[in-house]
């Protein structure tokens, strides 16, 4: 079983909020710290705010803070909010087409495994996984930026206005 990156970022964002204490933080700061798109983290923050895990503070000195104490935020509840489904096999999904569904014993076993997985996560709270603020400092502005994919130059040919011979973009200057 694998959690989506959305759930991963939600847990990271809550860890970031918990390490900030009562000080608000911005999505921009979390984005820089994690090397993740601000737009993507905005969606995560909206979900966590609607779910009652974060509170958004408006205004110039606004940002995000935990909506309640870290000791009351169960990891299982966060995962339930952020995971779209737990359809680990076809028979768990809407529109099941599996011909074995009525006789299969696998679905019961997998259902039990998912329940056990979530039960284990329910035993832990955000307070159990919070990091010291200095742990995030290693990933902030002084750290070298994450490597990006190299820029790919367009390779379409252009016509030189002085003649009709095709010219590549590299020699078109």
**pLDDT value at residue 162:** 47
Q: Which residues pair with 166 in a beta bridge?
A: 159
Name, in order, each residue with C-beta under 8 angstroms of 147's C-beta and a sequence gap of 6 or more: none
Q: Where are the alpha helices (DSSP H) in the chain?
A: 5-19, 27-34, 38-50, 75-82, 106-122, 126-129, 133-137
**Backbone phi, then psi, for 73, in 5-degree steps?**
-100, 105
10-residue averages of pLDDT along the chain (173 residues): 90 93 89 89 96 92 92 97 82 75 81 92 95 66 41 42 48 47
Cα-based distances in Å from 107 to 8, 90, 93, 94: 26, 9, 11, 14
**pLDDT value at residue 136:** 67
């Amino acid at each position: 079983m694998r959690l989506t990156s959305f759930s991963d970022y939600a847990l990271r964002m809550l860890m970031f909020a918990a390490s900030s204490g009562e000080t608000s933080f911005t999505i921009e700061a979390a984005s820089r710290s994690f090397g993740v798109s601000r737009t993507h983290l905005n969606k995560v923050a909206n979900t966590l705010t609607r779910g009652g895990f974060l509170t958004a503070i408006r205004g110039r000195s606004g940002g995000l803070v935990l909506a309640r104490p870290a000791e009351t935020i169960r990891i299982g509840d966060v995962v339930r909010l952020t995971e779209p489904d737990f359809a680990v096999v076809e028979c768990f999904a809407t529109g099941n087409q599996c011909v074995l569904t009525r006789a299969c014993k696998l679905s019961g076993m997998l259902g039990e495994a998912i329940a056990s997985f979530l039960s284990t996560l329910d035993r832990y709270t955000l307070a159990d996984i919070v990091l010291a603020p200095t742990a995030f400092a290693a990933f902030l502005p002084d750290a070298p930026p994450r490597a990006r994919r190299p820029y790919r130059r367009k390779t379409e040919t252009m016509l030189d206005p002085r003649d009709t011979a095709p010219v590549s973009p590299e020699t078109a200057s």
